[in-house]
Chains A and B, each alone.
Chain A
Amino acid sequence: MNLILTFSYVAIGYFLLLNLVYFVTSLVAYKRLRQYANRLDAYPDLPMITSGLMPPITILAPAYNEEQTCVASTRALLALEYPDYEVLLINDGSKDATLDRLKAAFKLEEAARMPTADIATANVRAIYRCSNIPNLWVIDKDNGGKADALNVGINFSSSPLFCGVDADSLLERTALTRIVRPYIENTDTVAVGGIIRIVNGSHVKNSAVNEPGMPGSLLAKFQVLEYFRAFLAGRMGWEAFNATFIISGAFGLFHRQTVVDAGGYASKHTGFETVGEDIELVVRLHRFCRDQKRPYRVSYVPDPVAWTECPETLSQLYRQRSRWQRGLLEATTRHIGMLFNPRYGRIGFLAFPYYLILEGLGPIVEFFAYVAFFYLLFNMSPESLPFLVTFFLVSFVLGMALSFFAVVLEELSFKRYPRFGDLMQLFGLSILESFGYRQLNAWWRIRGVYSFLIGNKEWGKMERKGFYRPK
């Protein structure tokens, strides 16, 4: 019984600490987002775009079986407002018609292109260039995974900065202009993350999100709220502490040479295969720069938006969440030497412990707390029931308050969902998610922990519906 007692204290400690972190990051994010909104008022992008001072950027878009969305995504990438960029689309040995569709849509011709780095990768089969759009290149390679495809892109990119995006993402037209700002203002910047938003339910026209809207499916709606919490509260808060730990693989800008020096993305060809290659790279950049005593900064900008399609079925969402959890654990355990290591400063003492212990291993505590809750509910003495109910209420209301806070942050800053009904829906979702969705998430993440423990390396499959839906 001491075990139950100990566990209950661990659970309460975890609960308090986790929510304290969420609360602090939300508060800090509030201040930062206000500043950022003022800043956008103060100096719009136009003078910078026309100044000719923006550094060249290569967009790396790996594609694997993306026949549904690859042409639209590529068109969106070609329509960005940025003076000097090229698009390198890497077909990672797709088994569907991805390459054929690209060839047909963009009249691709085989061309020579010199590699500029030699990160180990799978075999490159052919390189194509669009005959009438000179800044579009397609590299066809043997399948090696997303990280391997990105490494091929890095090997063939020739600009000081590269932007990694998912081929199924839609970047907003001004996304590059905004994400490059930290690099212009601080040349120590080695990586910058942008915000990911959910495209499901939005009206897409001419390769751009014309009218953002809430998705139709309840599962996707919950994810909208989660993304608010993760990107507006979480990442913004960590950025304020100069401890950005995660840059989403769907949209991030990197200093090419630093990434090459650090060894590129982790893949089976570079000796460490992980499904969390985006997290692993950022952790490794922190480690590499601190080990080398290089001044550096990993930054996050809340405004450059990449829209992405989120899973709408339980099985797909399970695979995604399980994979994210596994990726987080793979990335953090690979660099376990950073944990509470003074050499790594606030990364080693704040961000790393938070992500490894509270986010990585937390679901185990969370899940067993749910199990214990129901066990106690049916087995405890009736006098003690109010305790259990009260504790549940604290947890429920706290979760709800944090979600409401994330909605406030959205309203304060970018206001992408203009309908009043959307706001009400978001409030409703904040209440509803405690009844089933959070528990399911905890279960999926536990499955992710299990997959990590047994050494599973599979990615799972995501079926795309495409961006264009009837309004």
Chain B
Amino acid sequence: MTANNAWPAFLALNPMEEPILAPLNIMVLALLIVTLVLALFAIGLRLRNSRHTLLWQSLHAIWDRDILAVLSEDLDPAHLNRLVEPGQELNFLRYLALYAYRLRGSDLERLSTLAHPYLSHAARQLEDSDPEVRAWAVNILNLFGMPNQKHTLLAALQDSSPTVAMFAANALLAHKLTDHLGSVMDQLHRFEKWNLNSLASLLASSGIHAIPIMERIFLDPTRQTRTRVVAADVLNRLNYYAVADSAALLLQQETDTTMQIAILRLLSGVGRERHRAAVREQCASTSDSVRVNAMRTLRHLGNRDDCELFRQAITDSNPWVARQAAWALKSLGDTSSLQALALQQHPRAVMARQVLAEIG
């Protein structure tokens, strides 16, 4: 080793005598090989992608010729099926899915007939280790395979991936297979992070058959709040007016603000004038969110007797409460207080001008 304290130790070494250069050289070589492999991989991907695009275009060209004729019943589906060669089954299902998202009714049924011979290929994808591939398979079975594939989808409800389970739930409910609503509700905890609107919409898609179970859950204080909130939203979406009396009663007893908000939202859809008193109580809540929702609900249920309450609320410290109250006054035709406010040097004057200028 050359003793030269002027330089970092490794730079003072004699490379001809020291073995430290060898690993560095190997590293360079290894990195060069990695780089080369990456370059070849990128080129390979590009070629694969180009080939895939060309293949997809050529398949489209072949199938496009007949798909519209099949949809308009001018051609037997079996004719188009004969054009699908072995190995093209999944691509054909992908192709049909492009149309399926845009079609309904008998057109969709004809697509399902076209897809039917290949659904077993999609079902096999449910064994794939990638949850996204499994989700795709569930989606295809939902589009083309219901109700025959319901047992496959029931099994998918237990899939380790919440996304796959969500797709399966969506499929079961969208096809009104309400016998399985209980199974879906049992899985609800797995979708706890999902947007409540999406969940409620999903459950409501099963139609009026969902009402008894949703009402039971909504009124059951032993159930988790989130589940009850979703049930309330479903009942609202299904316009289940019969629950309004129980909801109003519950509102007077409930102390949990999340539940209070859920009930107020429900009442805004299914409530009646007789439920005003319960709602008015909540207009004095200390929780801004409860007050906003109470004001919104009272806007739907209220009458001119509530104008005084709305007039007071247009100067509420919370802008959302104030805006709901202003809209309520406008819809009740009591705009004089808004007009007066609009002319004042008041923090809510802009809001008053905005609400007065809004159409509707």
Measured CB to CB, the residues of A under 8 A from B are 1, 4-5, 8-9, 35, 38-39, 41-44, 46-47, 51-53, 55, 111-117, 183-188, 376, 380-381, 383-384, 386-388, 390-391, 393-394, 397-398, 400-401, 404-405, 407-408, 411-412, 415, 420, 423, 427
Contact = CB atoms under 8 A, between A and B. Distances in A.
Contact of A411 (B15, B49, B94, B323): B49
User: Taking chain B's interface residues, is the majority helix, strand, or loop, or is none over half, making it mixed?
Assistant: helix
Contacts of A55: 195, 197
Contacts, number: 156
Interface in B306-360: 319-320, 322-323, 348, 350-351, 353-355, 357
B349 to A, nearest CB: 8
Contact of A187 (B28, B35, B194): B194
Given A113-B350, A412-B45, A43 B135 contact: yes
B15 A53 contact: no
Contact of B15 (A44, A383, A393): A383
Given A41-B94, A187-B195, A387-B13, A112 B354 contact: yes
A394 B27 contact: yes
B136 A41 contact: yes
Interface residues of B, number: 61
A119 B357 CA distance: 25
Contact of A404 (B2, B5, B39, B354): B39
A384 B13 contact: yes
Contact of A185 (B195, B197, B323): B195
13 contacts: A4-B8, A41-B136, A42-B136, A42-B139, A43-B135, A43-B167, A53-B197, A114-B351, A393-B28, A401-B35, A404-B39, A404-B42, A420-B46
B45 to A, nearest CB: 4
A102 to B, nearest CB: 20
B194 to A, nearest CB: 6
B319 A116 contact: yes
A42 B133 contact: yes
Contact of B32 (A9, A380, A391, A397): A397
A114 B319 contact: yes
Contact of B45 (A51, A184, A187, A411): A411
A103 to B, nearest CB: 19
Given A42-B139, A376-B11, A387 B21 contact: yes
Given A43-B136, A43-B139, A384-B15, A411 B46 contact: yes
Nearest to B24: A390
Interface string B31-46: 1101100110111011
Contacts of B167: 43
Contacts of A411: 42, 45-46, 49
A171 to B, nearest CB: 22
Nearest to A426: B42
Contacts of A427: 39, 42
Given A184-B195, A415-B49, A408 B21 contact: no
Nearest to B44: A411
Shortest 4 CB-CB contacts between residues of A and residues of B: A112-B353, A114-B351, A42-B136, A38-B132
A15 to B, nearest CB: 12
A379 B21 CA distance: 20
A8 B21 CA distance: 17
A39 B135 contact: yes
B9 A46 contact: no
Contacts of B12: 381, 384
Contacts of A115: 319, 350
A167 B343 CA distance: 34
Contacts of B8: 4-5, 8-9
Nearest to A410: B42
Nearest to B205: A51
Given A38-B132, A41-B94, A115-B350, A383 B42 contact: no
B149 interface: no
A405 B40 CA distance: 11
Contacts of B7: 1, 4-5, 376, 380, 384
B25 interface: yes
User: Taking chain A's interface residues, is the majority helix, strand, or loop, or is none over half, making it mixed?
Assistant: helix
B11 A387 contact: yes
A383 B14 contact: yes
Contact of A401 (B9, B38, B139, B350): B38
Nearest to A4: B8
Contacts of A43: 135-136, 139, 167
Interface string B85-120: 000000000100000011000000000000000000
B61 interface: no
Nearest to A398: B31
Given A4-B7, A387-B10, A394 B350 contact: no
A398 B30 CA distance: 10
A390 B24 CA distance: 7
B196 interface: yes
B65 to A, nearest CB: 24
A38 B139 CA distance: 13
Contacts of A388: 11
Contacts of A423: 42-43, 46
Contact of B4 (A41, A381, A397, A398): A381
A67 to B, nearest CB: 28
A404 B32 CA distance: 11
Contacts of B319: 114-117
Interface string B44-57: 01100100000000
B155 interface: no
Contact of B6 (A1, A42, A46, A52): A1
B130 interface: yes
B101 A46 contact: yes
A217 to B, nearest CB: 23
Contact of B28 (A9, A184, A394): A394
Nearest to A185: B194
Nearest to A26: B38
Contacts of B25: 390
Nearest to B97: A44
A272 B154 CA distance: 55
Given A4-B8, A111-B357, 9 more contacts: A41-B94, A113-B354, A186-B194, A187-B193, A380-B7, A383-B16, A394-B27, A397-B32, A420-B46
Contacts of B41: 408
A381 B43 CA distance: 43
A114 B350 contact: yes
A35 B130 contact: yes
B195 A42 contact: no
A184 B193 CA distance: 9
Contact of A381 (B2, B27, B46, B139): B2
A254 to B, nearest CB: 16
Contacts of A51: 198, 201
B264 to A, nearest CB: 17
Given A35-B132, A114-B350, A387-B21, A405 B5 contact: no
B90 to A, nearest CB: 10
A116 B31 CA distance: 56
A114 B193 contact: no
Most buried by A among B8, B34, B193, B351: B8
A386 B201 CA distance: 69
A39 B16 contact: no
